[in-house]
Structure 1
């Protein structure tokens, strides 16, 4: 074996090792998105807020009248607005210093600590619940900037669809596993000598412990790439780098066009994920066990969906595959509007459809964007991507909350989300992705 072959083999082995470690951050943090944001916290925080509400059904955080049923949606919006302020700075500092890993650790453990603290959410402590939700959700968004920025550094262009899809599959696998444990604890709470509220709080806190424990794996396996002299990663230089990044992004209008499309359709995706349990419990009258098992179905099918859509992308390209998924999302929401109350079977059918497109649409969007990032700008550009992914996904929850506040109907809120998928489809269809990859200075894959 020649020396050159040995070097390539060693480089491949090291890349594979980092990829396996990278997958585990999805494995760690996805339980927050699944158990906390999608299943338990929405209905539970709504119940806590209702316990503190006045005779008209309003609570008054900071003196502002808020309908109790809208508090959760508003808190989600507040969390991502805060993340908007933090994520670009973190991305700029990470690229300036090359030290993504320490920043990832801080964000991950801040979020995990806030999630674990949800164990103390009981009685009428709705302000505590909203605060912990804001901290945990904003921390997750910041950590995902850094996590996603590793993708173009640990994978070759032709393997990114597969690597990204495996990451999502790891996340949905852990989400399903923890949901099974949650279901055992929640449905058997009497057997364990727990009240229903105690069981929910244990499930919430366990997601934080899981997040913190498995974050150790990527922190051990990922490595930092130092690209600038020490001392240039200060806050001031970070903001200066951010301004430079924004000016630089204007030189890549096709990349910005993709981000705009992604911002629109992903706003719909994130709102469906965060508000599904509230819609199911409050509008459809479904019990918590039904919601848990429905989301568990989503997790199981999302693994197959992420891997299956990754294979479709190899044949038809990532763009066409994403466009197909957006058509399915539109049909899902239209069906959800007409879903009858107290009909768990139809809710399961809808959950199955969501599972088949959820993981794939997100994984392929991430890998497609990685081709549009100029080399050396990964964390900065992925901070903009994460602002689209989570940081700017405040409009959907805000519209959802306002619609309920004004009409008192969650059906009116859910149908409004169709516009995000329809408009996102049109915007993405107009992006010439092969030209966009070349314009970013990257090699164009055979299929994209």
Structure 2
């Protein structure tokens, strides 16, 4: 009897490994949107649409104010974050009460891809349709990210989280990089008489199709898991979820280390995401680089980040995730300082800066996800990751608002991007206050040998 039990118990690692491989594919799928649309193509393309609609004073009416086209872009990202901050926590509570997380993941992915496809139809001076597309796409990306990240603790043990999360991020950078390489070829060759604007629209449409298509793999191969720690509530599922969310908010004081990390993440992740979201705009508007150079640089970043994520994951197994995240934040401080002095149209130095970004980009993001998963209680992963994703990739709040304000005041992107150093300093200082072992014990999780 004991032999049979042992054989059954040994099947768990095999089932976990199978689901982990399926889970990696969602990072592969959504990274096409993040890279081709969010990082490279959309910013310059949107600003071009807004400039076509601008009046004689080179300003566009938005939110009752006359703004520079670049400022409108940053405010759109900020708006999507504010809306997400309101909508994602209730979504997380709903997700924690359902076994069909993979169905929710796919639904948000496919809706987001539909929004993203609207960019293809945004031409001339129709920046309003493009604005709807990016806000809707970003919201769905964040919503699907909540579901996706909440699956990580379900399919991996505490000691394995850094490795699994890092491989997911690495797989995502590889997928996003391959599609971006194809788009770079389209931009370089401009076949069939295409102009750059049409090539940009086709590239962004390809990212939407990629996102929707590859989401089929985790949808078909992931398993449903019975929800844990769900307190019975009266009323509809939505009413029950809001009640559970209220319970979770009241219980936050029991997990001070998780709350401290969220505050740290709010700052340093906003800095990271704002650098990512503004890199193409900074390179084109401030440094004068062509779209081809920008795409080539981001392409290099993708493949360097692939290796960086794997290396950071391996080093975390030796030195701990917290220490590696802090080391990464120091490099981010150096990056934004170097950007302040980067000369115009200097391609080699721009590539060096891109290489540095790639080294720390994948590692800090992957380890932040796995580190946070250790500090949250089982059964409420989606709720806690909903707070996490309110401040996540492509939807920076304070960072984009800071850049928009500094840009409006100085009319220069250089001081705007340097201002982000404050986010890395504050985020790092808060992260140093997190007692990792205590946080893991408070959440009721097993403390890995290396933290």
TM-score by length of 2: 0.96
Distance change >3 Å, CA 332–CA 162, structure 1 → 2:
same
Conserved in 2, the CA contact under 8 Å of 1:83 and 1:139? Answer: no
Find the aligned partners of 1:410 and 1:242 in 2 and give their Cα distance: 40
Find the aligned partners of 2:123 and 2:294 in 1 and give their Cα distance: 21
- 3-state secondary structure, aligned to 1:60: strand
Deviation at 1:231, TM superposition (A): 8.7
Give the aligned CA root-mean-square deviation in angstroms.
Answer: 1.6
Alignment-derived partner of residue 296 in structure 2: 293
Alignment-derived partner of residue 249 in structure 1: 252
- 3-state secondary structure, aligned to 2:289: coil
Deviation at 1:64, TM superposition (A): 3.1
1:270 matched to 2:273? The reply is yes
Deviation at 1:62, TM superposition (A): 5.3
Deviation at 1:2, TM superposition (A): 2.4
Alignment-derived partner of residue 329 in structure 1: 332
Alignment-derived partner of residue 312 in structure 1: 315
Conserved in 1, the CA contact under 8 Å of 2:29 and 2:213? Answer: yes
Q: Any unmatched runs of 5+ in structure 2?
A: none
Deviations 1:272-318 (A, max 9, x none): 01000000000000000000010011001001100001111111111
Find the aligned partners of 2:304 and 2:373 in 1 and give their Cα distance: 25
Distance change >3 Å, CA 233–CA 373, structure 1 → 2:
farther
Alignment-derived partner of residue 53 in structure 1: 54
Find the aligned partners of 2:252 and 2:234 in 1 and give their Cα distance: 25
1:168 matched to 2:156? The reply is no
1:442 matched to 2:445? The reply is yes
Find the aligned partners of 1:215 and 1:180 in 2 and give their Cα distance: 20
Distance change >3 Å, CA 63–CA 217, structure 1 → 2:
same
Distance change >3 Å, CA 342–CA 233, structure 1 → 2:
farther
Distance change >3 Å, CA 16–CA 385, structure 1 → 2:
same
Distance change >3 Å, CA 230–CA 236, structure 1 → 2:
closer
Find the aligned partners of 2:389 and 2:4 in 1 and give their Cα distance: 40
Alignment-derived partner of residue 118 in structure 2: 117
Deviation at 1:220, TM superposition (A): 0.9
Distance change >3 Å, CA 298–CA 74, structure 1 → 2:
same
Distance change >3 Å, CA 252–CA 391, structure 1 → 2:
farther
- 3-state secondary structure, aligned to 1:97: coil
Find the aligned partners of 1:268 and 1:100 in 2 and give their Cα distance: 30
Distance change >3 Å, CA 359–CA 265, structure 1 → 2:
same
Alignment-derived partner of residue 196 in structure 1: 196
Q: Any unmatched runs of 5+ in structure 1?
A: none
Deviation at 1:63, TM superposition (A): 4.0
Find the aligned partners of 2:267 and 2:406 in 1 and give their Cα distance: 18
Find the aligned partners of 1:90 and 1:221 in 2 and give their Cα distance: 23
Distance change >3 Å, CA 392–CA 44, structure 1 → 2:
closer
- 3-state secondary structure, aligned to 1:2: helix
Residue pairs, 1:6-85, within 5 angstroms: 6-61=7-62, 63-85=64-86
- 3-state secondary structure, aligned to 1:65: strand
Alignment-derived partner of residue 179 in structure 1: 180
Alignment-derived partner of residue 224 in structure 1: 224
Alignment-derived partner of residue 214 in structure 1: 214
Find the aligned partners of 2:354 and 2:7 in 1 and give their Cα distance: 48
Conserved in 2, the CA contact under 8 Å of 1:48 and 1:125? Answer: yes
Deviation at 1:391, TM superposition (A): 8.9
Conserved in 1, the CA contact under 8 Å of 2:85 and 2:387? Answer: no
Conserved in 2, the CA contact under 8 Å of 1:84 and 1:392? Answer: no
Find the aligned partners of 2:183 and 2:38 in 1 and give their Cα distance: 14
Alignment-derived partner of residue 431 in structure 2: 428
Deviations 1:411-430 (A, max 9, x none): 01101000000111111111
Deviation at 1:19, TM superposition (A): 0.5
- 3-state secondary structure, aligned to 2:183: helix
